[in-house]
Structure 1
Amino acid sequence: MSGLAVTGAGGFLGWHLRAAMKESGTPVEAISVGTGFEASKATAAVDGSERVIHIAGINRASDEEVRDGNIAFAEQLSSALLAAATPPPVVVYANSTQATNGSVYGESKARAAEILAETASTIGAEFVDVRLPNLFGEHGRPFYNAVTATFSHLVATGESPVVENDKELTLLHAQNAADILSGAAPVRALEDLQQEETVSGLLARLQGYAELYDRGEIPSIAEDFDRDLFNTYRSYTFPAQSPIDLTRHADARGSFFEIIRSHGGPGQSSFSTTVPGVTRGDHFHRRKIERFTVLQGRARISLRRLYSDEVVSFEVSGDAPGAVDMPTMWAHNITNIGEDLLYTSFWTNDIFDPANPDTIAEAV
Structure 2
Amino acid sequence: MRILVTGASGFLGWHTRVRLRAVTDHDVIAVGAANWRDLPELVGAADAVLHIAGINRAPERQVEVGNARLARDLAEALDRAPGAPTVLYANTIQAGNGTPYGTGKAQAAAILAEAAAAKGASFVDVVLPNLFGEHGRPEYNSFVATFVHKVVAGEPPEVQDREVALLHVQDAAQAFIDQLGSAGVQRVTPTATPTGVAAVLETLRAQFAAYRRGEMPALRSRLEVNLFNTLRAAMFPAHYPIPLVRHTDQRGSLVETVRAHGSEGQTFVSTTAPGVTRGQHFHLRKAERFVVVGGRARISLRKVLTDEVVSFDVDGASPGIIDMPTLWAHEITNTGDSELITVFWTNELFDPEDTDTYPEDV
Query: TM-score by structure 1 length?
Result: 0.93
- 1:310 CA displacement: 2.6
Which segment is superposed worse, 272-281 or 44-53? 44-53
Letter in 2 for 1:276: P
Distance in 2 (CA, whole Å) between partners of 1:36 and 1:237 is 32
1:231 partnered with 2:245 = no
TM superposition shift of 1:72: 0.7
What amino acid maps onto 1:285 in structure 2? H
Which stretches of structure 1, 4 residues or longer, exceed 4 Å deviation after superposition? 184-189
Q: What residue identity is the alignment partner of 1:56?
A: A
Taking the aligned partners of 1:83 and 1:332, their CA distance within structure 2 comes to: 43
Alignment partner, residue 200 of structure 2: 202
Aligned to 1:174: 169
Q: Does 1:81 align with 2:56?
A: no
Provide Cα deviations, 1:199-220, integer angstroms capped at 9, x if missing partner: 2111111101111101111111
Alignment pair present for 1:65 and 2:62: yes
Match of residue 120 from structure 1: 116
**Residue of structure 1 in register with 2:330 after alignment:** 332
Distance in 2 of aligned mates of 1:128 and 1:262:
42
Give CA-to-partner distance per residue, 1:46-82, whole Å, 9 cap, x none: 2242321111111222222112111110010011111
1:287 Cα deviation after fit: 0.7
Q: 1:16 is matched with which residue?
A: 15
Note the 1:273-352 alignment, pairs <5 A: 273-352=271-350
Partner AA of 2:80 in structure 1: A
Aligned mates of 1:120, 1:184 — CA distance in 2: 15
Structure 1 position 36, deviation (Å): 5.7
Amino acid at match of 2:139: F
Instruction: Identify which of 130, 145, 150 aligns with 2:126.
Output: 130
Separation in structure 2 between the aligned mates of residue 189 and residue 221 of structure 1, nearest angstrom = 26
SS at match of 1:269: strand
Tell me, what secondary structure is at the counterpart of 1:49? coil
Q: Output the CA distance in 2 between the equivalents of 1:80 and 1:264.
A: 53
User: 2:319 and 2:32 mapped to 1: Cα distance?
Assistant: 47
SS in 2 for 1:99: coil
Distance in 1 between the 2:70 and 2:83 partners?
21
What do residues 98-121 of structure 1 show as CA deviations (whole Å, max 9, x unaligned)?
003121211111111011111111
Amino acid at match of 1:256: L
Q: How many residues align?
A: 356
Deviation at 1:169, TM superposition (A): 1.6
Q: Distance in 2 between matches of 1:148 and 1:179?
A: 20
Question: What is residue 28 of structure 1 aligned with on the other side?
Answer: 28
Q: Percent identity?
A: 50
Match of 2:163, as an amino acid? E
Work out whether 1:247 is the aligned partner of 2:242: no
The secondary structure found in structure 2 opposite 1:131 is strand
Distance 1:3 1:229 in 2: 32
Cα offsets for 1:263-320 (capped at 9, x unmatched): 1332111221100011111111111111011121111111111232232111111111
2-side partners of 1:180 and 1:203: how far apart?
Answer: 27
SS of residue paired to 2:201: helix
What's the secondary structure of 2:275's corresponding residue?
Answer: coil
- Separation in 1 of the partners of 2:189 and 2:95? 20
Q: Deviations over 1:174-198 (max 9, x none)?
A: 100110022279976722xx11222
Alpha carbons 1:46, 1:87 under 8 Å: kept = no
SS in 2 for 1:98: coil
Contact 1:32 1:42 (C-alpha < 8 Å) held by counterparts: no
Secondary structure, aligned partner of 2:117: helix
Q: Give me the whole-angstrom Cα distance separating, in 1, the residues matched to 2:66 and 2:92.
A: 15
Cα deviation code 1:146-166 (max 9, x no counterpart): 111111011112222231x22
**For the residues of structure 2 that align with 1:107 and 1:279, how far apart are their CA atoms?**
52
The alpha-carbon deviation at position 32 of structure 1 amounts to 3.8
Matched residue type, 2:142? A
TM-score (norm 2): 0.94
Cα distance in 1, alignment partners of residues 106 and 97 from structure 2: 10
